[in-house]
Structures are given as structure tokens and as C-alpha cells.
Structure 1
Amino acid sequence: MATNRKKLVLDHLNELNKAVTAKDIAAALSLDRTNISRYLNELYKENQIKKLPGRPVLYQATLSDEDKEEEDHNKKAFSRLIGYDASLKEMVQQAESAILYPPNGLHTIIFGQTGTGKSLFAECMYQYAVESKALSADAPFITYNCADYAQNPQLLFGHIFGVK
């Protein structure tokens, strides 16, 4: 019985083709979340699915070799950053998790010294969101340099939230 349910969970992940939580799967399959978590962890240990970092933990079906090549070819957003797969790897993973966080991603704010590439990192996050289909291809990319509004923060709030 457990093997059938584990296969059911795997099949559901393959159908979705996106990262989801154990709670989402439990709700979709009308099963206990605790058991779903156990099946997901077993599938992860068997290298049948991916476990994405963050809270809550997201699970995603492992791609076939053909799908991996296509994803590597398409997902080049963060490759523009020097160190995206080394010194910046943790920050890139956090950004990816924030973008894919259910249901609509998380708001982010990027801090750092002048000239460290905050704007470039934000552009890479936007490109990743478009590539991941978290945003539509025609979604606008709008930046605000908060330093320009240091003397008048109300002006920044007006730009972001609007005025009445």
C-alpha cells in the first residue's frame, strides 16, 4: 500500500513539473501530510526527486537528461554573475527559493556596498523568474535606487505604493 502511495506522490510531482511543498501534495492527493513527507524524503534519498533549500522545503521531480540539457540551455540568468556557482552559490539558491516560494514568491531587498552588483543581481533574479515562469515574459522590471530617496523617503513610498 505504501509503495503505491509513494508512486502516486512521484507521479503527481512528475505531472506538476514545478516545486511544491508536502502540504500542497497532501491537499491535492487527500492524504496525511506526515506520510507525504516520509514518502518525499524516501524518494529524495533514492534520487528520484529534488529537494530545494528553504522554508518550507520544496520538492520537485528530477528532470530527464533531455530536460536537464534544455533547462541548462535556457536557465542562464545567474550565470552572468561571477561566482554564481561558487562564492555566490548560497545567495543564488536563496534568490531562487524566494522567487519560487509558493504561492507567489517572496519580496526581497538587496543590501550591499556601492558597486558590488546589487542591480545586476536583481536583474538576474528577474530573468530567473521569467525563465521559471514565475513571471510572465512581458512583466516589467522596475528598479529604485533607495539612496536617491535618502533625504525624502516619502517620495519613495509614493513611487512604490502610489499617492492619493
Structure 2
Amino acid sequence: MTEFANKVDQIVQEATIEFLQTKNVDVLKNSNAGSIANLIKKDRTYVSRYFNERLKQHAFIKINTRPVLFLTASDFREYHLDSYEYNSVEELVETIDSRKEKVIIQSIIGHHDSMRVPIEQAKTSLAYPNNGLPMIIFGESGVGKSFFAKKYLNMQKLKIFQKMMLHLLL
């Protein structure tokens, strides 16, 4: 990889990691071709061409805002994204959040059959205002009450996070 490519990749990766850690959209303001071109003293069209070539290789995620933003795709592998292009940061965040919820639910053994009703009840209780309704989980010893409660807590944290992100993005 050339020095140019290394610099661009490093700048974008730093912004991507900071965004994922802080959930602050403002850290992405320098993750576009124009800003990076100014930082490394190259032509904007040259940087843009590089981004578009690497996008075809699925190295970046493109957010079609003005200016167009780029994020490092490798930092999003755990979310198993279907697309490498999004219309807005909000769309990307919604996709990530829906993937997180899906992963949490699928990690519960029997999520297709025997646990379908309790999972739906948990999701419904989370939909109520003010961080959802309390739930009582009962059953015999060893049936997975604590495991289910931890997964429920993860879903609740995800819902709170989603509300915070919507508030920050609006």
C-alpha cells in the first residue's frame, strides 16, 4: 500500500473508531474527500477516486450526504451489513441497531419455537415509554431464567441507546 493510501485509511479508521465509541456524528465531519485532501495536501478528486475504487472492494462504507462521508468497513464486520452505501448516518445507525437486536434474540436457544412467546413479550414490554415495563421471569431451576434476563437487559440497553442516538441525530 502506498503512503497516500495508508494516510487516508488511517484518518478514516480513526474517525470510524471514535464514532463507534462515542456515537458522536460530529467526529465524521473530516471523514470526506475534501477534508482529507486538505489534510494530506492532495487533490480532492484524487482522494475521491481512491475512495470509490476502495468502495468497490468493500473497504469503505459510503454515506451519501453532502459532503459524502466514508467509514472503514472492517470496523463494522460484526454487524454483517448487507450494503456498503447508505443515504444518511441515521440509516446506518438504524441498520446497526436492528442487527444488534437480531443477534441478541438469535443467541437465545429456541428463539424460533419454544421461546418465541417470551421473546415477543420482552420486546413488547420494552416498547412501553420510560424504558419499558418490568417483567417477572419465573420457572424451575436450570431453565435459563438468568440467561434470558441478561439478554432482556441487553435489549433494554440497546433501546436506550437507540433513543439517545435519535436524540443526538435530530
TM-score by length of 1: 0.40
TM-score by length of 2: 0.39
More helix by share: 2
